[in-house]
Structure 1
Amino acid sequence: MDIPNALLATTSPDANLRKQAEDALNQAVNENAGQLMVTLSQALAAEDFPTPGRQQAGLFLKNILDAKDYALQELKIQQWYSLADDVRNAIKQYALSSLKAQDAIAAHTAAQVVAKIGSIDVPQKQWPDLLRILVENVTSGTDSVKHASLETLGYLCEGLDEDSLEASESNQILTAIVDGIRKENPDKIRLSAVVALRNSLEFVNENFSRDAERTHIMTVVCEATQCTDVQVRVRAFECIATIASLYYEYLGEYMSVLCDLTFKAVQADQAEVGLQSLEFWSSICDVELEFIEEGRYGDPAVAAANLKRYVETVLPALVPMLLNTLTQQEEDQFEDDTWNLSMAGATTLTLAAQVVEDAIVAPVMQFVTTNIQSANWHQKEAAIMAFGSILDGPHQQTIQPIVENAMPVLITCMNDPNALVRDTTAWTIGRICEIHGVVMARCLGPLMQLIVAGLDQESKVAAHMCYAIHYIFQSFSELDEGTTPLDPYFGHVFDKCLMTCQLSSEENIRVSAFEALGMMIQHGSSNATPHILSRLTSILEHLEGNIEKHKANPAYGQEFYGLYTCACDVLVVVIQRVDHDIRPFADRIMQCLLNIFSTGHTTAGEEAFLATGALAGAIESDFKKYMTQFYPVLIAGLSNVQEHAVCASAVGVVGDICRALGADVNVYIPEIVNQLLVILRFPNLNRTVKPPVIAVFGDIGLAIEGEFEPYFQHVVEMLLQAAQACVAVQVDDEDAVEYLNQLRESILEAFTGILQGLSSHNKGPLMVPALQGIGQFLALLSAETNRSDSVTTTAAGLIGDIASILGVQAKLLLKEQFIQSLLLDTSRIDDDQAQSVASWAKQLVDETLRL
């Protein structure tokens, strides 16, 4: 099948023909990608080729270059640049010419292709005339060419990183886009231009910093909000919301106009326009919340200088507008979760409450008290939603008395005939349990009755009741007493939750009920333990029954995986709570877990590993009898590097088993160590896996002690290489700093565990040749300003072990100034354990230096 016919066949209703066509195209990619890409670009540009074929040619061409996975995208970029220059230029020219296609679908597809190639070439300066050509198309081309070129600019900006463009390039793009938005242009062109502006806003910060340019941009965008085309209005307000997020500091002179435009859109325009207008106010709230947080936990002076308090200024007008949106519920809103004006209004009201705090209470509560007893369900539900939306924000002394007084009314509302009223009431009660849970102490009896009854209501209501259980038990666990006010209700609520888990046919309810059970198990008082143990048999019977059903109906596995995941979560918290008392149930639990592993499901397998680790930790050496069956499962998990969460869970189990079995684990260690080293060599390893893999070598060393010697050389070389890679990162990259601290701590833990294990067999001196590398690592840590307290304390612990175990052999290292600096830093940490470690390590170092 030749390429043109294959392209046409990809749209055939005949599945076999489509498969043949796709196979032919994929084979052509593998045989000669460059030649195929030229052919595809020619097909896209061919005016006499049928539209479906042109569209498929463009999409297939784009997909050859496109990938969502970062590593695969980098590979495709390399493959693109491996093509000869004349081949790449031909592809680009055919794609560019296709923007002038008479067929609108072909031109639209060409916009995607040009933008994809541009996202690769523009940052590398490999298509220097692209932006000039697109700008010329927009300013002087026909309407269809303008439209296609603006689409291209929009897609291009969407695909570029923020630092990909120089100022001159972003100026070219902005000039073309703003020209396209002008009200003199047809609506179709204005729409593509507004979309392009939305995608380009991250690149135009310099333009926004200049008054005249900023005002020109704001003027054309505000004009676009009044366009007769509803989609142009929607996209224009979307632009305004994005501008609020990116350029909040420049909005002051435009706020009067923006208030007028957004308020009118919410109150009088079509719903989809109103939704985007509300998004503007949500964006303002988000920015102001960031500054408020900065004022609380960062630099108050900077926060005060940047916070303009727009929300507080417009609050007298904003609150009534938002409250009015709450009354505009859809008639079928309980069954249909489609995002609408009342939902968006509630979200914005919630954010506004967090921004203005106590100032929100009076105007909202006036609305609540007026409408909460209304016979009109719209007004009643809106009042309850308004109340639930302002629970998080006002100070506790302001809102808690109101919450206490509201509870009897809310409990009554749970009997309302309207399902949406009950649903919103249940959500509000859940929010109260989350944010003001201890307030519930005075009405626990009625509340618990309400919760148990609510579990029998519609699925959405029941899910909110589970949410309430979750947080009410979490709230009372913080009282830190042997008993809690929830004790009298524990058994009844627990059993009702368990029944919901076992009998509900809806997965979302089962998941919510299992989560509530887990929280009850985790936070129930000591008096609850016998009841939990008495129900464990029922939990296991339910799990075993479903495993058998799954075996009988393997094709319906998707129905069971969610249950397995939730059941494993519950087993983990049960095991952690009852510890050694889990032994009578261990055989049944392990058999269930082995059956779950056999399904091969990723998420269920991940949770099953966590449950296995918890079981090993609880029954300790008794876990040995399960190793014959479990060991192949463990190795398979360690080998599953592509599913990084599963792999990391399996690594965690290695540590649990080492602690449980001690020296008895040695028979399994050769393959485990080999597999751990394979993981670390994997080129595309998810970085979250690396720290636990490194740290677990410390667990292995502690478990097998002197038997670690055969692995010592390879492992220590790897640790020293990892230590050398721990270079400093920019202060403002919080994620990188956190990861680096995790990595450093894991290296320290590994050295500590290995050294302690070797010392028990008098093999500690094996570590002496590594002291120079360890010293370089400790020196790096000493100089690091972003070092966490945990890293500092762990480093002090390793220093103490080196002094204790190696003595005078480590004297050269221990007299270094950075050693004293690390110990001093540890002693200054406001933590008893850290100070104890510092004192212990310093004493050992001082004694060694006196020798």
Structure 2
Amino acid sequence: QRSSKFYAKGALQYLVPVLMTKLTKQEEFDDEDDWNPSKAAGVCLMLLATCCEDAIVPFVLPFVKDNIKSPNWRYRDAALMAFGSILGGLDTGTLRPLVEQAMPTLIELMYDSSVVVRDTAAWTFGRICEIIPEAAINDNYLKPLLESLVNGLKAEPRVAANVCWAFTGLAEAAYEAVEGNEEGTQPETYCLSEYFDFIIMRLLETTDRPDGAQANLRSAAYEALMEMVKNSPGDCYVTVQKTTMIILERLNQVLQMETHIQSNTDRAQYNDLQSLLCATLQSVLRKVTPDDAPQISDAIMTALLQMFNSNSCKSGGVQEDAIMAVSTLVEVLGEGFLKYMDAFKPFLCLGLKNHAEYQVCGSAVGLTGDICRALKSKALPYCDEIMTLLLENLGDGTVHRSVKPQILSVFGDIALSIGPEFKKYLDVVLQTLIQASQAQVDRADFDMVDYLNELREGIFEAYTGIIQGLKGDDATPNPDIQLLEPHVPFIIQFITMVAYDTDRADSNIAACAGLIGDLCSAFGSKLFTMLDVEPVNELLTLGRRSRVSKTKTLATWATKEMRKLKSANSS
């Protein structure tokens, strides 16, 4: 056990004055990426605050109070920077009164004559919204704060980009602050409701600024827009609907521009814009009600199919973002996605064949699982081609290893969706799972240990899907489940091997427990003696003690299933 010698705390009285002096040596027209003594001093202060916590306040606060209203912009900015830099290390009890007391001055500094000061003020609000958001959504200051932030969206790109960051934190804070709202449910209203439409419209204007490429402003504004929509309550839904149509219209406009692209710079900006619009489309789609989704899905799918057909989709990033947008559409439409399947399947297959860009291939594999879960048995006509591609990818050494655990998991999704029809793939898939379960890695390489755990989780999920799919939903298991019986001893041997492995992840325990429970309900009491062994029982005990609720729930359920078999055996 290492104990702190408090060297940093002892050095505060000597270090902080030097750092304060360095903070006043800003370069007025520096680029955001330039590294200079002033920026280094700010980072050093942040680290000292994290290390020394509240002890730093008496060394920094006098400088802040003396200089925050200095006639010299360098000193105003240094005071602001010092204040913003120490926020992350302080205890909430110390922090809240400090920030609440400073709010009127901070809001005033958002209108400062110096762009450097306004930039730092916007950055400080970004920090406040991230670290102590309750101070920002305080009733006394919320209206003037929002006015200053919206005004800041029209400022220089560096200032506006920091304002967008502040909105990102503010949106989440306001949503989470709704009292009495259960986690996972949408509140009806929140403290930003009356300003919501105005903020969204100003953010949309900001994404369209001609100087949006500077200081990453365009992507910061879209990011803020996504967070505002994601964290929006029920009474802001009309604005969400309106935003969905605006984003869709923009995507269509952008797709028309493709023929006018002249240079590589234009192409890069065009691809970035398509990716941002796809990501924003995902965010708004997730908020669209099940009744509204089918009314706009034709227009969205038409735009996305046009995008897949365009030259820009030769860029892996754009292809991946388009796949993710389709995935969200599948999520909101469920079985309703079936009508697009014939038009979309060629592009799904292209994604699965994209071995060169493994993120694209991985997204396509994930989307395959989403589609099968949504379409259920209606996915059957597409399964032969999909299964062939997935099996080819598993056997191909050029496919990035990170994709392979996902493929195994998708076998489970397919089995679950088509049930008894999975029989025709059973032998080849079981053979593949045996091979995958024998994988060994260098235990000194942590990345490879993580990969092994992911691979095993994929195997467990495949077995789980196959068992549930063949067993069916009825109380009496479907006779097809007997096809798996010769393979059961091997599955239990694999479970035991993972149970003995001290490098296993918590998610392995969860997936393993789920599989144990499914084996019990599918094969009944004849399995009890094979499963009632020390490593399996110890694994379930570990699972029940887990801090992760999913693991705890699955391990408790599997234990109950085991007890049922035990009592059936003894009676």
TM-score (norm 2): 0.91
Cα deviation for residue 454 of structure 1 reads 0.8
Amino acid aligned to 1:569? A
Aligned pairs for 1:804-843 (under 5 A) are 804-807=521-524, 810-811=527-528, 813-830=530-547, 831=549, 833-834=553-554, 836-843=556-563
Change (3 A) 1:614 1:840: farther
Q: Which of 119, 125, 130 is the matching residue for 1:429?
A: 125
Gaps of 5+ in 1: 1-301
Cα distance per residue 1:304-361 (max 9 Å; x no partner): 1xx443322211111111111111112322x564211111111111111111111111
Is 1:445 aligned to residue 143 of structure 2?
yes
Cα distance between partner residues in 2 of 1:845 and 1:579: 44
Cα distance between partner residues in 2 of 1:650 and 1:846: 43
Amino acid aligned to 1:583? P
Is 1:311 aligned to residue 8 of structure 2?
yes
Gaps of 5+ in 2: 182-186, 473-477
Is 1:396 aligned to residue 92 of structure 2?
yes
Root mean square deviation, CA, Å:
2.1
Match of 1:117 in 2: none
Match of 2:327 in 1: 613
Identity of paired residues, percent?
A: 37
Cα deviation for residue 717 of structure 1 reads 1.3
Change (3 A) 1:502 1:585: farther
Amino acid aligned to 2:60? V
Kept after mapping to 2: 8 A contact 1:617/1:659: no
Change (3 A) 1:809 1:502: farther
Cα distance between partner residues in 1 of 2:335 and 2:566: 39
Cα deviation for residue 444 of structure 1 reads 0.9
Cα distance between partner residues in 2 of 1:554 and 1:744: 48
Change (3 A) 1:829 1:340: closer
Kept after mapping to 1: 8 A contact 2:293/2:332: yes
Match of 1:792 in 2: 509
Cα deviation for residue 577 of structure 1 reads 2.3
Match of 1:752 in 2: 464
Kept after mapping to 1: 8 A contact 2:544/2:553: no
Cα distance per residue 1:643-669 (max 9 Å; x no partner): 111111101100110011111111111
Aligned pairs for 1:448-847 (under 5 A) are 448-480=146-178, 481=181, 482=187, 483-507=189-213, 508-553=216-261, 556-580=266-290, 581-598=292-309, 599=312, 600-725=314-439, 729=443, 735-760=447-472, 762-807=479-524, 810-811=527-528, 813-830=530-547, 831=549, 833-834=553-554, 836-846=556-566
Kept after mapping to 2: 8 A contact 1:793/1:838: no
Kept after mapping to 1: 8 A contact 2:243/2:284: no
Cα distance between partner residues in 2 of 1:554 and 1:693: 39
Give the secondary-structure state (helix, strand or coil) at the position aligned to 2:191.
Answer: coil
Aligned pairs for 1:163-562 (under 5 A) are 302-304=1-3, 307-333=4-30, 335=31, 337-442=33-138, 443-480=141-178, 481=181, 482=187, 483-507=189-213, 508-553=216-261, 556-562=266-272
Cα distance between partner residues in 2 of 1:448 and 1:428: 14
Cα distance between partner residues in 2 of 1:578 and 1:539: 13
Cα distance between partner residues in 1 of 2:433 and 2:555: 27
Cα deviation for residue 726 of structure 1 reads 5.5
Kept after mapping to 1: 8 A contact 2:513/2:555: no
Cα distance between partner residues in 1 of 2:564 and 2:431: 27
Kept after mapping to 2: 8 A contact 1:793/1:837: no
Cα deviation for residue 636 of structure 1 reads 0.8
Kept after mapping to 2: 8 A contact 1:501/1:510: yes
Match of 1:144 in 2: none
Cα distance between partner residues in 1 of 2:154 and 2:276: 20
Cα distance between partner residues in 1 of 2:28 and 2:242: 46
Give the secondary-structure state (helix, strand or coil) at the position aligned to 2:2.
Answer: helix
Match of 2:184 in 1: none
Amino acid aligned to 1:303? R
Change (3 A) 1:450 1:546: same
Kept after mapping to 1: 8 A contact 2:412/2:461: yes
Amino acid aligned to 1:466? C
Kept after mapping to 1: 8 A contact 2:525/2:566: no
Kept after mapping to 1: 8 A contact 2:441/2:449: no
Match of 1:227 in 2: none
Moved more, 521-530 or 422-431: 521-530
Change (3 A) 1:727 1:766: farther
Kept after mapping to 2: 8 A contact 1:353/1:393: yes
Change (3 A) 1:829 1:332: closer
Kept after mapping to 2: 8 A contact 1:701/1:757: yes
Cα distance per residue 1:127-168 (max 9 Å; x no partner): xxxxxxxxxxxxxxxxxxxxxxxxxxxxxxxxxxxxxxxxxx
Kept after mapping to 2: 8 A contact 1:748/1:795: yes
Cα deviation for residue 836 of structure 1 reads 4.3
Kept after mapping to 2: 8 A contact 1:824/1:838: no
Moved more, 801-810 or 356-365: 801-810
Cα deviation for residue 568 of structure 1 reads 1.4
Give the secondary-structure state (helix, strand or coil) at the position aligned to 1:402.
Answer: helix
Cα distance between partner residues in 1 of 2:285 and 2:49: 41
Q: Who wins on radius of gyration, i.e. which is larger?
A: 1
Cα distance per residue 1:257-298 (max 9 Å; x no partner): xxxxxxxxxxxxxxxxxxxxxxxxxxxxxxxxxxxxxxxxxx
Cα distance between partner residues in 2 of 1:702 and 1:449: 52
Amino acid aligned to 2:298? D
Amino acid aligned to 1:701? A
Cα deviation for residue 623 of structure 1 reads 0.9
Cα deviation for residue 822 of structure 1 reads 3.1
Cα deviation for residue 455 of structure 1 reads 0.7
Give the secondary-structure state (helix, strand or coil) at the position aligned to 2:286.
Answer: helix
For CA contacts below 8 A with separation 6 or more, give which structure has more relative contact order.
Answer: 2
Cα distance per residue 1:658-693 (max 9 Å; x no partner): 011111111111121121122222324433222211
Cα deviation for residue 505 of structure 1 reads 4.1
Cα deviation for residue 696 of structure 1 reads 0.8
Cα deviation for residue 789 of structure 1 reads 3.3
Cα distance per residue 1:205-228 (max 9 Å; x no partner): xxxxxxxxxxxxxxxxxxxxxxxx
Cα distance per residue 1:346-378 (max 9 Å; x no partner): 111111111111111111111111111111111
Cα distance between partner residues in 2 of 1:317 and 1:823: 55
Give the secondary-structure state (helix, strand or coil) at the position aligned to 1:640.
Answer: coil
Change (3 A) 1:850 1:736: farther
Change (3 A) 1:500 1:332: closer
Moved more, 547-556 or 717-726: 547-556
Cα distance between partner residues in 2 of 1:586 and 1:809: 50
Kept after mapping to 1: 8 A contact 2:285/2:329: yes
Cα distance between partner residues in 1 of 2:567 and 2:333: 40
Aligned length: 545
Amino acid aligned to 1:533? Q
